[in-house]
Chains A and B, each alone.
Chain A
Amino acid sequence: MSIETRNVHGVTILDIQGRITIGEESALIRNTIRGLVQSGKKNLLMNLADVRTVDSTGIGELVSSYSHVADQGGALKLLHLTKRTRELLAITKLLTVFDTFEDETRAVASFA
């Protein structure tokens, strides 16, 4: 799993490749998000286009990250959900919690 970050108009986009599952992958998400928030980057957009597998621990990590960023006065939103990730968020009712986008420009603009 890898995470690359880039800045677009004040929004930090995390391009995530691989999977978000129990173990090192979830820890990497957690540490990356907390590091960004600590450095003052609180408008975060997770690009999940290349995430092929998410398990319940991974869903938990997304929820935990969402809450942490919100608690620090920021926002965490999701971009380019795969069909499978969208299905998991739908059945867990988390699509009612997360703001999700299919268009990066619109997603970035939503933070303004």
Chain B
Amino acid sequence: MSFGSNIQFVDLVQEISQSITRMAGFDDEASHWICLSVREAVTNAIQHGNQQDESKKVGVRFRIDRRRLLIAVSDQGPGFDESSLPDPLDSGNLLNPSGRGVFFVHTFMDDVTYHNLPQGGFEVTMEKRLKHTT
């Protein structure tokens, strides 16, 4: 799916994510945290990647196989260097009002990778393994 960079689409993506995680066989708890991770990735793509420019698209792809659920979220922004992000667990950052979205994605997903797209733009790919494969 693809949509303009408006924060109103975050809820829609979360609802779709919920249906897909259930279809893949995740229980309520796992589904909740996967959907939260998707929500965070899409929010980042809209706010930081595309700077809320509605003419720029955010893409979300889901793929289920026997072992895992793969979710890719792309934007048309320049991307970011994960190592440059402040550590939200540093005592000096605990009261920061922002900066926890990427941390949540890493916490709740099994594997997270970032890459620049050949046609321009940036993509985060998140993987959650199905329980019977672990």
Contacts and interface: CB of A to CB of B under 8 A. Distances in A.
Interface of A: 21-23, 53, 55-57, 59-61, 63-64, 66-67, 84, 88, 91-94, 96-97
B95 A92 contact: no
A76 B118 CA distance: 48
Contact of B104 (A21, A56, A93): A56
Interface residues of B, number: 20
A55 B43 contact: yes
B88 A92 contact: yes
A15 B112 CA distance: 36
A56 B95 contact: no
Given A22-B10, A22-B43, A91-B107, A63 B96 contact: yes
Chain A, interface SS category: helix
B7 A23 contact: yes
Nearest to A52: B32
Interface in B85-105: 88-89, 94-98, 100-101, 103-104
Contacts of A61: 97
B10 to A, nearest CB: 6
A111 B105 CA distance: 36
A33 to B, nearest CB: 13
Contacts of A66: 95
